[in-house]
Amino acid sequence: MRRAADGGDRIAAMESERESLYVIKRGVVYELSPQPQGGFFIVVPALPGCTSFGDTIDEALEMVEEAIQLWIEFAREKGLSIPAPFDLRQAS
C-alpha cells in the first residue's frame, strides 16, 4: 500500500497483480485499470455497473462522480437499495 502523492482526497492506493489501481476517496473504493490505448477505466465495485473513463486518474475520478449520481437517481426511481455511504448523497 502507498500513499497518494497529490495529497488530495485520496487516502491510499495499491496496485494488484493485474496492474489495477485502487483508490479510496471519501470512504468509497474505486478500481482504475490503465487501458492499452491510454487513459483509465474506472469501476465503483459497490455499485454494480457504475463505470466511467478518463484520460488521467484525476479525470476518471471526476467523471465517475456523474456516473454515481446517475446510478443513485436510477436506484431511487426503481426503489432499489443504495449502499452506504451512497445513501447519504443527493441525486442531481
Rounded to whole angstroms, the Cα distance separating 56 from 48 reads: 23
* Structural domain boundaries in the chain: 10-88
Task: Give which of 17, 24, 22 is closest to 32, Cα–Cα.
Answer: 22
pTM across the whole model: 0.73
Residue 75: DSSP 8-state: H
Buried b (16+ CB within 10 A) or exposed e, 18-46: eeebebebeebebbbbeeeeebbebbbeb
46 or 16: which carries more pLDDT confidence?
A: 46
Please give the grid coordinates belonging to residue 57.
Answer: 486518474
pLDDT at 2 (0 to 100)? 43
What is the tens place of the pLDDT at every residue in 34-45?
999 999 999 999
Q: Which CATH number fits domain 10-88: 3.40.50.300, 3.30.160.250, 2.60.40.10, 3.90.550.10?
A: 3.30.160.250
